[in-house]
Amino acid sequence: MRGAAPQTRAVSSILKDLSARNGERADVRLADVAALLGSRVHGAAILILALPETIPAPVPGLSSLLGVPLLIVSLHLAIFGERGGLPARVAGMPVPGRLLSVLARYGSPVLRRIEAVSYPRLARVVRRERAIGWLCAFWSLVLWFPIPFLNGPPATLLVLLSWGLVQRDGAVILVGAAGSIALIVITVFLGDIAVDILRSLIATDG
């Protein structure tokens, strides 16, 4: 049975309002976003910080800029859960108005469609906030390394995990967790193949 709709405003609406209110030239603090999202602050912060990393075209320095706040928020969620507010160091971080405008323009339409089919469910999964936080911390650490064109998959997993927290949608969280396991297995498998090829090349040269 479908759960009750979230009482707080939709993320897509909040992004559009923040962008319209502040414009491209004015930065917005994460604390301002947190004030609008209430108890969903960690999930929302991770979502906003991870969404830009899903853009196919690499933005120079973006991973380094967003990687540290992502890691801090994820670790804070892992240690304190969603009930604790954002750490002061991250709450005061300015989010560029131009970045919010891009997210509002290109992200909000997609988020609205997802919001129409995403709703609170599988509460037992959603309550595993600290475990979700550790998983987000792992992928945040991966995103910290600026690898062109390869940050998309872990960033997408972060978006799924954080979206599940924001919407209290355990099904989306499970998809993010399953995708995490799959990506790790694929990475290890491809890494093992690469090592074998390298060894073969070295043996041939010798």
Question: Is 5 contained in some domain?
Answer: no
pLDDT tens digits, 32-70: 776 676 567 888 889 888 888 776 555 555 666 677 889
**Structure tokens of 148?**
């062109």
**Structure tokens of 84?**
């604790």
Q: Alpha-carbon distance 82 to 84, whole Å?
A: 6
Question: Is 64 contained in some domain?
Answer: yes
Question: Is 139 contained in some domain?
Answer: yes
Question: Is 130 contained in some domain?
Answer: yes
pLDDT, mean of each 10-residue run, the chain (206 residues):
51 78 72 68 86 66 73 91 79 79 78 85 92 94 74 89 91 95 91 83 70
Question: Is 32 contained in some domain?
Answer: yes
The torsion region of residue 78 among left (phi > 0), alpha (psi -120 to 50) and beta comes to alpha
Secondary structure (3-state) at 148:
coil
Question: Is 182 contained in some domain?
Answer: yes
Write out the residue range of the structural domain in which residue 104 sits.
11-205
Question: Is 19 contained in some domain?
Answer: yes
The pLDDT assigned to 4 comes to 41
The pLDDT assigned to 178 comes to 96
Question: Is 4 contained in some domain?
Answer: no
Q: Which of 41, 52, 24 is nearest to 85 (CA)?
A: 41
Secondary structure (3-state) at 82:
coil
Structural domains of the chain, count: 1
| pTM (two decimals) | 0.83
Tell me the C-alpha to C-alpha distance, in Å, between residue 184 and each of 127, 138, 146, 150, 181: 24, 11, 18, 13, 5
